[in-house]
């Protein structure tokens, strides 16, 4: 594992986001995948991938509980680039069982129930999406939440046994917005209504002035529990 880690360090250190993506495509041909939820950060990376014709599969998790505005920007993105965005849905049987026994809003009742819903609608489909790949690209930035501040732009994801690369990890929100404006990139209109982080509609609200970036996600829970399980893995730091 150490030789592998050193190889990633040497090849990605100091590169721009686009050059970093190009290098990972060289290192893992046909095995790099990017997950988008159509937020600000993900739209930036989608633009980088599609406009540079990078052979990176772009996918999204269609949980069945997304905002209409998310579907809007999804459609606009397909129109703009003419490239496929692969949708992964939850297993119908698992959703049916959960909703039939606990109702459509069980996630409000306990952290356990909420994580069960996230597990069915997001984590399990993610596992299927990542299968057969060696590098997972994400739109994570350092200042998005306390739990993400201690991560690094390249990591080893022990849970999924693959490299995770966050191309714009060190960008601030102003840089993200400027890139979107300069490149006329479509973005979710909810961002203009106080939604910095957008997930499933029942679990996302606008944030108030001065609140944390992810305060609008699962706002009824303790701040320390605000991850859905997609990035809660045994991460071994590869490089800063």
Name the residues annotated as catalytic. 228
Please, are residues 56 and 135 in contact by the beta-carbon 8 Å criterion?
no
By CB atoms closer than 10 A (0-12, 13-18, 19+), residue 153 is buried
Residue 223 CB partners (closer than 8 Å, separation 6+): 146, 212, 215
Please, are residues 123 and 230 in contact by the beta-carbon 8 Å criterion?
yes
Please, are residues 218 and 203 in contact by the beta-carbon 8 Å criterion?
yes
Helix ranges (H only) for 142-214 are: 146-149, 173-182
Please, are residues 38 and 77 in contact by the beta-carbon 8 Å criterion?
yes
What is the C-alpha separation between 124 and 89, in angstroms, rounded?
A: 9
Return the H-helix or E-strand segment holding 47: helix 40-51
């Amino acid at each position: 594992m150490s030789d592998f880690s050193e190889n990633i360090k040497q090849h990605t250190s100091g590169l721009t986001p686009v050059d970093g993506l190009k290098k990972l495509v060289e290192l893992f041909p046909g095995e790099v995948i990017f997950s988008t939820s159509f937020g600000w950060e993900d739209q930036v990376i989608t633009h980088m991938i599609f406009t540079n014709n990078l052979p990176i599969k772009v996918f999204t998790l269609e949980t069945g509980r997304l905002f209409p505005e998310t579907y809007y920007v999804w459609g606009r993105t397909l129109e703009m680039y003419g490239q496929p965005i692969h949708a992964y849905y939850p297993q119908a049987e698992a959703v049916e069982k959960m909703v039939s026994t606990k109702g459509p809003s069980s996630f409000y009742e306990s952290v356990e129930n909420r994580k069960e819903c996230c597990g069915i609608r997001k984590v399990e489909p993610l596992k299927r999406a990542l299968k057969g790949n060696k590098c997972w690209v994400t739109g994570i930035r350092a200042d998005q939440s306390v739990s993400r501040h201690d991560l690094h732009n390249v990591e080893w994801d022990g849970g999924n046994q693959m490299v995770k690369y966050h191309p714009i990890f060190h960008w601030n929100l102003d840089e993200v917005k400027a890139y979107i404006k300069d490149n006329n990139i479509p973005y979710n209109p909810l961002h203009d209504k106080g939604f910095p982080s957008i997930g499933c509609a029942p679990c996302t609200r606008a944030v108030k002035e001065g609140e944390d970036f992810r305060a609008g996600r699962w706002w009824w829970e303790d701040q320390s529990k605000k991850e859905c399980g997609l990035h809660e893995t045994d991460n071994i730091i590869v490089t800063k």
